[in-house]
Amino acid sequence: MKNNLLKIFTKGLFIENPVFILMLGLCSVLAVSVSVINALGMTLAFTFVIVLSELTISLIRNWIPKTLRIPIFIVIIASFVTILQFLLQAYLPALNKSLGIFIPLIVVNCIIIGRIESFASKRPVVESILDGLGISLGYGIAIVLIAVVREILGSGSILGIQLFGSSFQPALMFILPPGAFLVIGIEIGALNAFMKKYNKKVCSR
Amino acid sequence: MKTNPTKQIVKLGIILSIYCIVAALALSVTYSVTLPKIQEQQRLSTERSMKSVYPNASSFSVVTNENNDELFCSIEVESGVLIDSLYMANDSNSSLIGFVVKASSQGYGGLIMFVYGINPDKTIEAVSIIEQTETPGLGANVYKSSFLDQFSKKNVTDSFIVKQDVTPITASTITSKALTNGIKKSVDFLLEHHQEMTDEK
């Protein structure tokens, strides 16, 4: 039982990593992985929305008519996103400013609706919360890994701290979408290579 | 089992409305709780920007006419450029240091809201960005002093043309133009319509 719960949590990290394996919601990944601080902020916002949405939908899953499920999912996700935006405007205006348009766009993030459709609408509450947390952590790890590379190469800084002297000319391409695709592609490749090696080791044992 | 389709539609409609009503209630509660805090934050951020333009000013007051009505309240100077309000910056002896203009201009990714100071000698004191939603890493660098500092002490009668007397942000010409144009157009409008500003003091 405990093992099962752990499995639900950890599958979001690798086996079903929303960015590197499922490759869902890449649009917002491109946009927020420009800097590490944005990636961390987005992870927090994303966690808030996905955990609360999965929790709510799992609670009411027996009262959702099948034909109405998508509109109801959207209403619930959109409400949490709007609540999040009010809270950010009131208490963390700096984060709200730096994430800007990407907060409202969490509504249409397909990772969230995907997890709700395939998981939270069928499973009990505790499992759904763990699923939300695992997926958020996997999402966070992925976008921070992408953001680290992009910020160092594209802005010459990490967490806003300049790493090189003022004569350093950063590669502008890495903060533009093409650079993001390159970084995502290379990181997915590296992860696949690692998984292959790891799986071989496991099998040969 | 055959169900009456009209009945089915009505039933589904009622269920969906119930969900929407609950969501709306939750939203309105959050909104009313956070609204005062949000307004407070907006006021603070405007004040901070005004203070960064005139650090020595002790008070900022809205410019009004004889009837105490606010002059220059949300005036669209040209499409995309809006003067939000005009303030006078006074020092501790309540003598005028300059005018602070709060304005906005349509940028690449939405409105850029900014404040700037006009000195009595018709130069720009400084520019400060309140809010912007430009592309992160590119146009969003509009708030950096490396770009904004070039406006300081600039004469308002200068031409304000990007790539001539204004150096744009790398790869963000639209953002640079939006801000430059926003300043120039609002300054021209104010000089034309606000007599006091042109009077040398």
pLDDT digits (tens, 9 = 90+) for A24-58: 888 888 888 888 888 998 999 999 999 999 999 99
Residue B39 has pLDDT above 50, yes or no: yes
Looking at beta carbons, which residues of chain B come within 8 Å of A31? 136
**Residue in A87, A89, A172 nearest the CB of B171:** A172
Q: Using CA atoms, how far apart are residues A82 and A106, in angstroms rounded to an integer?
A: 10
Cα distance from A57 to chain B (closest Cα, Å)? 12
The per-residue pLDDT of chain A, averaged, comes to: 86
Q: Do A83 and B20 touch (CB under 8 A)?
A: no
A contact set with B (CB within 8 A): 31-32, 34-35, 38, 65, 67-68, 71-72, 75-76, 78-79, 82-83, 86-87, 89-91, 93, 97-98, 100-101, 154-155, 172, 175-176
**Residue in A67, A72, A101 nearest the CB of B19:** A72
Residue B13 has pLDDT above 80, yes or no: yes
From the list A50, A181, A67, A60, the residue with the least C-alpha distance to A114 is A50
Which of A153-157, A191-195, B153-157 is predicted most confidently?
A: A191-195
Which residues in chain B belong to E strands, given as ranges? 59-62, 75-78, 81-90, 96-106, 111-118, 124-131
Mean pLDDT along residues A62-78: 90
Q: How many residues appear in chain A?
A: 205
Q: How confident is the model at residue B201 (pLDDT cuts 50, 70, 90)?
A: very low
Mean pLDDT along residues B99-106: 89
Residue B200 has pLDDT above 50, yes or no: no
Cα distance from B10 to chain A (closest Cα, Å)? 12
Residue B194 has pLDDT above 80, yes or no: no
**Residue in B12, B15, B137 nearest the CB of A34:** B137
Mean pLDDT along residues B162-170: 83
pLDDT tens for each residue of B112-136: 888 888 888 888 888 888 888 787 6
3-state secondary structure of B55: coil
The pLDDT > 70 percentage for chain A reads 95
Q: Using CA atoms, how far apart are residues A162 and A52, in angstroms rounded to an integer?
A: 37
From the list B119, B139, B138, the residue with the least C-alpha distance to B127 is B119
Mean pLDDT along residues A151-160: 81
Residue A137 has pLDDT above 90, yes or no: yes
The residue with greater pLDDT, B194 or A62, is: A62
CA torsion A13-A15-A17-A20 (nearest 10°) is 120
